Structure 1
Amino acid sequence: MPSIIDAALLGRWTAASTAALERRCAEIDDINVFPVADGDTGTNMLLTMRAAGDELRRRFREDGWPPTPDGPGCAEAAAALARGALVGARGNSGVILSQVLRGMAEAIADAAGAVDAGALRAGLERAHRLARAAVARPREGTVLSVLQAAAEAARDCGGDSEREVAAAATAAAVAALRMTTGQLPELAAAGVVDAGGYGLVVVLDALATALGRPTDEAPDVPRSRVRAARGAEALTTSRESGADAFAYEVMFLLDGTDDERVAALRADLTAVGDSVAVVGDGTTGGTGLWNVHVHCNDIGAAVEAGIEAGRPHRVTVMRFEDQVPAADGGRFTRERAVLMVVEGDEVAELARESGADVVERTGTPPGADELVAALAGTRARHVVLLPDDPEVTAHAERAASAARRDGQEVVVIPTSSVLQGLSALAVHDPARRPGDDVVAMAEAAAGTRTGGLLVAESEALTWVGQCAPGDVLGISDGEVVLIAPDLSVGALWLAHRMLTAGGELVTALLGADADADLGERLAEDLRRTHPEVDVLVYRGGQADYPLVLGVE
């Protein structure tokens, strides 16, 4: 009998998990009191699962979704989920969730095509081992206890089908979750179950459902015994446990290292803080990627420990005291955010490095519902939304209206391209009054003229003449303004045309398939012909335009 665990099933599980976490996000955040009552466990797990799903869709972008028999298979899909979760993990709970997906991915790879109930059992067992090994000082009554119960139930399940194993694991996880209240003093005092364990139950329940377990057989997930108003009582409980000894959460990605130096890093971080979690992608030989998490007071010491171990990047720091008080039930944990819609891995990374939260699209524009969820996921009271595409603007406006009805202040700046979005982001200043900041960002976007190059696929009549297949078309303001013989000539001609009206900065984004030489030649030509203009070239990664230009 063929396995029902395949790439398409993993896609359905990811989508179901994300949707379920979106529904339960506020509730999970509400009962988050350990190790710090910062009210973000649900949000962190949701954002981590979204990152996993984004990577899965990128992996299958060229082959189409749903997968085809000739396209990447189950092992490739599972590896993409694990990789996306590792890179996009948020908070301690997100780091643990990434190891759940890594355990499943490694077991599926080892199954060599026979992805059955045995592989599911092995995946949960490996997930438990990886997650527990990731935490420097594991404690019972946390998500680790819930994951252990799920793995043991899967191992001992007498059923032969994947559905039976997943159902047994979920039921055991629910039972273990109920027990967490009595296992940790912090949870008992607040009268709640463990928030990370609750999030894991949501993910396991989505897997059981995706494998065909009837919804009427789903176990009742326990809520908090005493509804935890995320605020004074819960916060005091956590503070009394000593969690306030550390004021900051520090996270970064690490590469250029090895197991020995990672072990030393884990020891160094344990000496300067707590909630230490260091997890990798399983690659050996010094080429792997690691995600590092610690609560500490000395940010510099944590980052320096990373530098000693390898090459840290994507460093993020969150101060617990900066989180917004719980008058809104803990829903908002920061005052300001910029949410940007982009296409392409590299430009998404560029936007994140510039301080934006990102919605990554993979061809199809995100709908209003997806944007509403992303706005909520920022956990910010004031959000500037940059759609970066006229097709997305209408969805963005509907999402903003829905978010405003729910108490979040959202302003849409109708950017028509990613370069306008990056220009707006470049002048964003969280220290300014929100209204003044929006005006500055809107002016920067409006002052950026954009254009791009396309390769003609067929004969057509344009405003500037007849084009043939293979001709390079220069596009500006939605119209063809030039026809060039190749990309290099087209890039220079388009830049010269756009600079006719003046400009101080030219920004070029190279497409996914464009050669690096294209950007280098353009920069060299412009420095010679327009020495007064600064030129910046980035790898944008967009699939449609080989080159996008912006002039400010």
Structure 2
Amino acid sequence: MPQTADDLDAVAVRTWCSLALDALGREREAIDAINVYPVADGDTGTNLYLTVESAAAAVEAVFAAHETGASAPSTADAVRAMAHGALIGARGNSGTILAQLLRGMAGVLAEEAGQDRLRRALARAAASAREAVAHPVEGTVLTVATAAAEAAGRAAGGAGADVVAQAAYEGARTALEATPGQLAVLGRAGVVDAGGRGLVAVLGALVEAVSGRAPEGAPAARVPFAVIGDCTADDPEGGPAFEVIYLLEAVDAAVERLRTRLDALGDSLVVVGGDGLWNVHVHVDDAGAAVEAGVEAGRPYRIRITHFAADRVHARPEPAQRAVVVVVPGDGLGGLCAQAGATTVLARPGEPPASGELVDAIRRAHAREVVLLPNDGDLRHTAAAAAEQARTEGVRVALIPTRAAVQGIAALAVHEPDRSFDEDVVAMTAAAGATRYAELAVAERQSWTMAGICQAGDILGLIDGDVAVIGENVPETARNVLDRMLAAGGELVTLVLGEEVPDALAATLEEHVREGYLAVDTVVYRGGHQCAPLLIGVE
């Protein structure tokens, strides 16, 4: 139950996160529907929900860790967890900005004392969010956040957190109503800013968390889409083709250089975070260059690349006829698949994507028909659940049970959106099924395998999921795996190299194939961070 409090303690922070998640859950579809800026991709509500979901989960983890102890978490523990959870789970432009807003608030709430600290926290949040955006635009969530901070600042001196929060909410709501007059694309569409509306919902939850009462006044209304005219943004080409988001471990100086480089590559640049961990968001035409810039700055991971539909309609995205959603085990393959037009979901080691992430990716694809490639046998139930959920939302989904990334690459290579859906699915399924797959892994401990007993540190060659070769080094094991696979025939070998594997290995294996199997071609890709040392496909 919401609590009445003069200030935010850990329980109030937990309650705030829970109520904000509930509010965004109720308003997600409505916020998605009015999303026309900076890109009309119809996912702002979903992105904000997922960002707050990550923040709430982090706070719950802090409370769970204290359940066996004698004391409850401190306010500092709770707000820092909230900010960190939002940072690592931030989605989209608005979600990334919201993460910075929460981080700004946490910096004050965790480190300062006094009855006015909520007022100061809101001011810090608004200022830090503007600093994180390369080119702030009025009429957006930044405007709404600034108005909330200014309204909170005008609250009576010494007022409790409930009064300050109510003032911030009212200031944000008033500013939201004015956004169509500040940003032309909103005015033409007859809608308020989607990110701003989401922030109003989050501030409304704050009011309820500290006062025990839901705030007075409803969010600003919007004009129904039936009367919306042309709301194309100022860019006649519709803006860059890709949205790139990743977490980055890097020092401050490297991040400043990264900002400059990404600002030259695209737009909608937002870089949030600090203390060595950053969330980077940018819209670009060259997704690979954006990722490479992150590699030069530090260590990027959890890379998400979304291909904006080329024929999007800027008031309400007109769904493409067909799209492919593919799960990839490394950022290099993510860039490769995104360049081919697919929507990607990164599978992190030990953290397979949940069905909600796959449903989110299907929604981001904005297509009437979607082909889903899970690329992992262990994801079959998760992918099936996601496909079923998407079908209830009116999307036609075909799940091709790919068990490895190389099977997904083979399927994507024969994808032709111009032919019928059934024909396309049959061709992609056949290509995947005709691809045998293997990977190299390092044994973590002594154990029994199909190929005998392995010791910790041995190189294991797994073919179609079973250990077939045990070796002492990667090149020797890889050659043995290739020989076993090609003994049954093949026309094309696909090699996917992990981040730390030298290019020389690819050259060695290409030569091995060329000398022993004259009619077989070889293609090589870089899997990037989080990919296994070597993935092999034989078609």
Q: Same fold (TM over 0.5)?
A: yes
- Per the alignment, residue 526 of structure 1 pairs with 509
Quick one: structure 1 residues 82 and 478, their matched pair in 2 at CA, closer, same or farther if it must change by over 3 Å? closer
**For 1:72-95, what per-residue CA distance to the aligned partner results, in whole angstroms no more than 9, with x for missing partners?**
99769847855775xx64xxxx2x
- Per the alignment, residue 334 of structure 2 pairs with 348
Report the Cα distance in structure 2 between the residues aligned to 1:108 and 1:445, rounded to whole angstroms: 48
Which has the higher mean CA deviation after the structures are superposed, 116-125 or 380-389? 116-125
- Per the alignment, residue 46 of structure 1 pairs with 46
- Per the alignment, residue 3 of structure 2 pairs with none
- Per the alignment, residue 500 of structure 2 pairs with 515
- Per the alignment, residue 31 of structure 2 pairs with 28
Amino acid corresponding to residue 312 of structure 2 in structure 1: Q
Provide the secondary structure at the position in 2 that maps to 1:507: strand
Report the Cα distance in structure 1 between the residues aligned to 2:151 and 2:228, rounded to whole angstroms: 32
- Per the alignment, residue 344 of structure 2 pairs with 358
Which has the higher mean CA deviation after the structures are superposed, 116-125 or 442-451? 116-125
- Per the alignment, residue 427 of structure 2 pairs with 440
Amino acid corresponding to residue 214 of structure 2 in structure 1: E
Q: In the alignment, is residue 224 of structure 1 matched against residue 221 of structure 2? A: yes
**For 1:58-105, what per-residue CA distance to the aligned partner results, in whole angstroms no more than 9, with x for missing partners?**
x9xxx9998899xx99769847855775xx64xxxx2x5534433544
Quick one: structure 1 residues 522 and 167, their matched pair in 2 at CA, closer, same or farther if it must change by over 3 Å? farther
Quick one: structure 1 residues 317 and 461, their matched pair in 2 at CA, closer, same or farther if it must change by over 3 Å? closer
Alpha-carbon distance, 1:234 to partner: 0.8
Amino acid corresponding to residue 173 of structure 1 in structure 2: A
Amino acid corresponding to residue 46 of structure 1 in structure 2: T
- Per the alignment, residue 425 of structure 1 pairs with 412
Alpha-carbon distance, 1:449 to partner: 1.2
Report the Cα distance in structure 2 between the residues aligned to 1:112 and 1:54, rounded to whole angstroms: 19
- Which consecutive residues of structure 2, in runs of 5 or more, have no partner in the other structure? 1-6, 67-72, 246-252, 298-302, 515-519
Q: In the alignment, is residue 465 of structure 1 matched against residue 473 of structure 2? A: no
Quick one: structure 1 residues 65 and 549, their matched pair in 2 at CA, closer, same or farther if it must change by over 3 Å? farther
- Per the alignment, residue 4 of structure 2 pairs with none
Alpha-carbon distance, 1:401 to partner: 2.7
On the 8 A contact 2:24/2:201 being kept in 1, the answer is: yes
Report the Cα distance in structure 2 between the residues aligned to 1:187 and 1:132, rounded to whole angstroms: 20
Report the Cα distance in structure 1 between the residues aligned to 2:403 and 2:138, rounded to whole angstroms: 50
Alpha-carbon distance, 1:481 to partner: 1.4
Provide the secondary structure at the position in 2 that maps to 1:539: strand
- Per the alignment, residue 235 of structure 1 pairs with 229
Alpha-carbon distance, 1:165 to partner: 5.6
Provide the secondary structure at the position in 2 that maps to 1:217: coil
- Per the alignment, residue 517 of structure 2 pairs with none
**For 1:25-71, what per-residue CA distance to the aligned partner results, in whole angstroms no more than 9, with x for missing partners?**
33123335x669x753x5145347758988999x9xxx9998899xx
**For 1:458-504, what per-residue CA distance to the aligned partner results, in whole angstroms no more than 9, with x for missing partners?**
44333222233333332222322122234443333223322222334
Name which of 321, 325, 334 aligns with 1:335: 321
Q: Any residues of structure 2 matched to 1:145-544 within 5 Å, and which? A: 145-156=143-154, 168-180=167-179, 192-205=191-204, 212-213=209-210, 216-222=213-219, 224=221, 226=223, 228=224, 230-231=225-226, 233-236=227-230, 238=231, 243=233, 246-250=236-240, 277-281=268-272, 322-323=311-312, 330=316, 332-362=318-348, 363-510=350-497, 515-517=500-502, 520-531=503-514, 532-542=520-530
Report the Cα distance in structure 1 between the residues aligned to 2:33 and 2:396, rounded to whole angstroms: 21
Name which of 122, 125, 136 aligns with 2:123: 125
Report the Cα distance in structure 2 between the residues aligned to 1:64 and 1:508, rounded to whole angstroms: 42
Amino acid corresponding to residue 228 of structure 2 in structure 1: A
Quick one: structure 1 residues 501 and 341, their matched pair in 2 at CA, closer, same or farther if it must change by over 3 Å? same
**For 1:205-260, what per-residue CA distance to the aligned partner results, in whole angstroms no more than 9, with x for missing partners?**
56667xx447752455425265x1x24x2124x47xxx577242226779999789
Quick one: structure 1 residues 317 and 365, their matched pair in 2 at CA, closer, same or farther if it must change by over 3 Å? closer
On the 8 A contact 1:333/1:380 being kept in 2, the answer is: yes
Quick one: structure 1 residues 547 and 373, their matched pair in 2 at CA, closer, same or farther if it must change by over 3 Å? same
Report the Cα distance in structure 2 between the residues aligned to 1:181 and 1:263, rounded to whole angstroms: 32
**For 1:384-413, what per-residue CA distance to the aligned partner results, in whole angstroms no more than 9, with x for missing partners?**
111112222223223323322322111111
Quick one: structure 1 residues 191 and 84, their matched pair in 2 at CA, closer, same or farther if it must change by over 3 Å? closer
Alpha-carbon distance, 1:380 to partner: 1.5
Amino acid corresponding to residue 516 of structure 1 in structure 2: V
Alpha-carbon distance, 1:358 to partner: 2.2
Report the Cα distance in structure 1 between the residues aligned to 2:49 and 2:333, rounded to whole angstroms: 20
On the 8 A contact 2:151/2:168 being kept in 1, the answer is: yes
Quick one: structure 1 residues 135 and 345, their matched pair in 2 at CA, closer, same or farther if it must change by over 3 Å? closer
Which has the higher mean CA deviation after the structures are superposed, 451-460 or 389-398? 451-460
Alpha-carbon distance, 1:416 to partner: 0.9
- Which consecutive residues of structure 1, in runs of 5 or more, have no partner in the other structure? 270-275
Which has the higher mean CA deviation after the structures are superposed, 374-383 or 531-540? 531-540
Provide the secondary structure at the position in 2 that maps to 1:527: helix
Counting aligned pairs with the same residue, the percent is 34
On the 8 A contact 1:154/1:166 being kept in 2, the answer is: yes
Alpha-carbon distance, 1:382 to partner: 1.3
Report the Cα distance in structure 1 between the residues aligned to 2:528 and 2:115, rounded to whole angstroms: 41
Provide the secondary structure at the position in 1 that maps to 2:228: helix
Report the Cα distance in structure 2 between the residues aligned to 1:441 and 1:115, rounded to whole angstroms: 60
Q: What is the TM-score when the length of structure 1 is the normalising length?
A: 0.69
On the 8 A contact 1:523/1:537 being kept in 2, the answer is: no
Alpha-carbon distance, 1:415 to partner: 0.7
Report the Cα distance in structure 1 between the residues aligned to 2:169 and 2:512, rounded to whole angstroms: 66
Report the Cα distance in structure 2 between the residues aligned to 1:219 and 1:399, rounded to whole angstroms: 37
Report the Cα distance in structure 2 between the residues aligned to 1:496 and 1:203, rounded to whole angstroms: 58
On the 8 A contact 1:347/1:541 being kept in 2, the answer is: no
On the 8 A contact 1:191/1:224 being kept in 2, the answer is: no
Report the Cα distance in structure 1 between the residues aligned to 2:8 and 2:212, rounded to whole angstroms: 21
On the 8 A contact 2:107/2:121 being kept in 1, the answer is: no
On the 8 A contact 1:48/1:97 being kept in 2, the answer is: yes
Q: What is the TM-score when the length of structure 2 is the normalising length?
A: 0.70
On the 8 A contact 1:30/1:39 being kept in 2, the answer is: no
Which has the higher mean CA deviation after the structures are superposed, 244-253 or 169-178? 244-253
Quick one: structure 1 residues 208 and 135, their matched pair in 2 at CA, closer, same or farther if it must change by over 3 Å? farther
- Per the alignment, residue 300 of structure 2 pairs with none
Provide the secondary structure at the position in 2 that maps to 1:536: strand
Alpha-carbon distance, 1:116 to partner: 9.1
Quick one: structure 1 residues 109 and 200, their matched pair in 2 at CA, closer, same or farther if it must change by over 3 Å? closer
